[in-house]
Amino acid sequence: MKPARKPSLPVAAKAPLDARLTEQRNPRSSRIDQMSTLEIVDLVNAEDRGVAAAVGAERLQVARAIDLVVEGLQQGGRLIYVGAGTSGRLGVLDASEMPPTYRVEPEVVQGVIAGGFDALLRAQEGAEDHPEDGAAAMDEREVGRHDFVLGIAASGTTPFVHGALKRARERGARTGFLLCTPPPEDLLRTHDVVIAPLVGPEVVTGSTRMKAGTATKMVLNTISTAAMVKTGKVYGNLMVDLQVTCEKLQDRGERILMDTLGIAREEAHKLLDAAGGHVKTAIAMQRLGVDAQEADRRLDEAGGEIGKLL
């Protein structure tokens, strides 16, 4: 005979014990431990549907962040994400995808996570609790006035992130904050932009790797993608600044050349090889009738924007 299932505790009707939206209980999932597998799937999916709308409600703030990033990049600055736990990992993930996708140097977009490299693979308990470590990370990277530092903390309270942003501002950098709870007034006054997609309480209370994590990924995708577009890394909607480093990117590069130049696969392969695996250079070579060196020189003169060059 199976033991009787312990009933779930009801959601309290009184005021929440923690004012942070990310720490409040979700009444729709209060009995998730008694649901069937399919009911859990449907519940999680239903909750996720509101994430895009919450991100969309912050469109003006996201656009403001993008303009700050672009302004800094055009003056030789960097985009630096700072976070802990899931937030930190998402920042590192977004940063790590910039070099192969848009051929930027690894230091141009960086992700800083509390606890360092080890925290990417395994939680480093307590690493987020030290604001001085966040400040030290900014000093180590010599953050300056052309950099934009975006702190990521779903709850808005992570000491490591606040320490990093405080030091970044002292060093002259522009700063932003991404969180998933209503921002306090002092946060709005302190930073150049605050992005706060309010996705609501999580299905499992406090598990911000869920809706808050999804919202964070969407915001970071938008910021980095738009920044790369506005700094000439995209032609039409094609990633012409990709660097061929594997068979998949070789194939993609050849298809971009076939599409934009109207040439056959074999010619595209040869052209890409002559361009050192750089699609943008290959397009300029073919359109302008010049070699790779001259194509790169003219691209530099055009600020890397192939649309302007052609």
Q: Is the dihedral of CA 212, 213, 219, 220 positive or negative?
A: positive
Chain position carrying tokens 């995209």? 234
Q: Cβ-count burial of 185 within 10 angstroms (0-12 exposed, 13-18 middle, 19+ buried)?
A: exposed
Structure tokens at 77: 């600055």
Examine the residue annotation and report whether 185 is marked as an active-site residue of this protein: no
Q: Specify whether the CB–CB gap between 224 and 235 falls below 8 A.
A: no
Examine the residue annotation and report whether 128 is marked as an active-site residue of this protein: yes
Q: Please tell me the distance from the alpha carbon of residue 309 to that of residue 303, in angstroms, as a whole number.
A: 9
Sheet with 148-152: list strands edge to edge.
109-113, 79-83, 148-152, 174-178, 193-195
* Angle in degrees, CA 308, 222, 201, rounded to 5: 170
Structure tokens at 4: 């009787």
Please tell me which residue in 97, 267, 294, 305 is annotated as part of the active site: 97
Contacts of 44 (CB under 8 A, 6+ apart): 203, 210
DSSP reduced 3-state for 293 = helix
Answer left, alpha or beta for residue 173, where phi above 0 means left and psi between -120 and 50 means alpha. beta
Q: Please tell me the distance from the alpha carbon of residue 233 to that of residue 256, in angstroms, as a whole number.
A: 14
The DSSP code sequence of 134-202 is HHHHHHHTT--TT-EEEEE-TTS--HHHHHHHHHHHHTT-EEEEE-SSPPPHHHHHHSSEEE-----S-
Please tell me which residue in 23, 58, 128, 202 is annotated as part of the active site: 128
Answer left, alpha or beta for residue 172, where phi above 0 means left and psi between -120 and 50 means alpha. left
The catalytic site residues sit at 97, 128
